Amino acid sequence: MEKNKSKLQSTLKMTPNGLKSSHPWSFKVYFRTGIYGWRGSQLAAKRLKEALREINKVNKQEALLAAEGAIFLMSRLWPALEHIDTSSGSLGNAVGNIIEKLLPILINAPASLLVRQYWLDILWEILQADGVGYVAGGQSYGGKSWYARRRVSEYGNVTTVIHDERTGKNIVWNGRSGWRRENDGKEKSQEMMLRLIKEVHNAKSIGFFVCDNTRDLTYAIQQYCIIGYDYGRKQRNQKKKDVRKNGFVTALGCGYDEYYIIDQRTQGVETELEVDETMTKAKIARNFSKFQSTKKQSRQMLNKFVDLVK
């Protein structure tokens, strides 16, 4: 993978601290983390227009660089605009207009399939970190999803048979490429490995995603609870309502027997859930019961969990 990235000669690079660009974009200084305060929508809208003009100017000479500038700007939207009051809707409209004008630059850039693969991996990371859906709102252009342009059908979907010599079982894996989950029987590698463990060792797998902020909760719901295209974010909004009501939501079809996405802020306790591989089933159940004991609304999850580990 590293060799392929070096051949791309991209100005973009994902790091633990976010996306970096080797090009000296002027708009970078106006889109730093937390730079705008509660009443910063008007100034932010002005800076967005300036950034668009800079990218458009570059696009006249270097279309590929302009496309990467568009991606770089998208990556900085949520961190920079996070603290602005968006209740009026003016900032959302401003961002939406900018995204709509950036998409043609990104889509029409003369990039190879390999380059687009790299870009789309980055865009997906940006989308996951987007706390309010600034980037998600622009996921279509001209009636076509820009994620759908990945064109992986010729190499991304594979069928593999895994044979376990000890049990003699054959595990058929229909590989799924891309991020979008469908009810089509295809699995990502993590889902396949969990199913392999379950079928070979007759074991149950239970997962937890404990969130303590809105960004992590949105990411978890988008990653594990959304099936197909979420038009109008109906699925995501419903799952968030479920979390507000129950303190958790159960993700299905992601490889686990049960996968709980828990909003720790609704639990009313400061202790953390302690689970490790050395614990007995009874110890795990006791710890989980203690973790949830102060919330009557979490009794449903407690009962489901205890039934699984009995």
pLDDT tens for 45-64 read 999 999 999 999 999 999 99
More confident call, 104 vs 153? 104
With contact defined as beta carbons under 8 Å apart, do 243 and 266 qualify?
yes
Question: What pLDDT does 182 receive?
Answer: 62
Highest average pLDDT, of 157-166, 215-224, 264-273, comes from 215-224
Q: How far apart are CA 150 and CA 124, in angstroms?
A: 12
Q: What are phi and psi of 98, to 5 degrees?
A: -65, -45
Helix (H, G, I), strand (E, B) or coil at 92: helix
Closest CA to 309 of 265, 260, 249, 243: 260
Q: What angle do CA 49, 51, 57 make, to 5 degrees?
A: 105
- 3-class secondary-structure state, position 209: strand
Residue 139 has pLDDT above 90, yes or no: no
Tell me the three state secondary structure of residue 102: helix
Lookup result for tokens 């994620």:
147
Give 142-179 pLDDT, tens digit per residue: 444 443 333 333 334 456 667 677 777 777 776 655 55
- Dist. CA 105–CA 64, nearest whole Å: 9
| Whole-number pLDDT of residue 91 | 85
Rounded distance between C-alpha atoms, residue 260 and residue 251, angstroms? 6
CB 271 within 8 A of CB 210: no
Return the half-sphere exposure (C-beta side, CA atoms, 13 A cut-off) of residue 94. Answer: 21
217, two tokens: 């909760």
pLDDT-above-70 percentage for the chain? 71
> Per-residue pLDDT for 5 more than 50?
no
